[in-house]
Amino acid sequence: MPLSRDDNKRVELTKQAAAHLRTGGEARPELADAVDFLLTDEGRKFLVRLGWQDTAQKKPNLAMEIPVTLRDDIKEVAAAAGAKLEAEAEHALREFLAGRFTPAKARKVPRGKTPPKANLNVRVDRELRRQADELGQRLLEEDELDWAPRASNVIVSWFTDRLADDFRNPVTRQQ
């Protein structure tokens, strides 16, 4: 998510303030205001937004719509095992890309029988997602699978399998 116009201006003023403080010079109240702003609660929030901007660019949120009960079970069991869903998701994609994991095709639910659904949100590396999507499409084109799994399908299938073994030997950090 790009920074707002106000945030971009604050970044520029803060850079100017730093340069001004290094070289001295005439009084620049707007630079002093930029530094003062950083010391406020709103300034703290601004710095958090700056930090998240880079994360959001490299690892955008992947919202996967799944049954509420499955989402809650995944979160609960993974947390109890000490597994980090972000790390598990990236591990799942790496295993899929290496040919060591084939996701199960989602079962169709009869019309009107769909359970309540909610999003399971996980930040996943943009490049890994792209590679997994391309591989899924290639596996369909080469008739190795009868469907083209996307990154989200791989991750949900991985989580479902991991849920069955209580996230034994959890992945706790990125590789």
pLDDT digits (tens, 9 = 90+) for 69-97: 999 999 999 999 999 999 999 999 999 99
Predicted structure pTM score: 0.69
DSSP H helical ranges for the chain = 5-23, 29-38, 41-58, 68-81, 85-97, 126-141, 151-164
pLDDT digits (tens, 9 = 90+) for 13-34: 888 887 777 777 787 778 778 8
pLDDT value, residue 52: 66
Q: Return the closest-CA partner of residue 87 out of 99, 100, 76, 78.
A: 78
What pLDDT score was predicted for residue 1? 58
- Whole-angstrom Cα distance, residue 7 to residue 150? 35
62 φ/ψ angles, rounded to the nearest 5 degrees: -115, 110
CB distance 89 to 103 below 8 Å: no
Share of the chain above pLDDT 70, in %: 94
Looking at every residue in the chain, the average pLDDT score rounds to: 88
Task: Provide the greatest CA pair distance for the chain.
Answer: 73
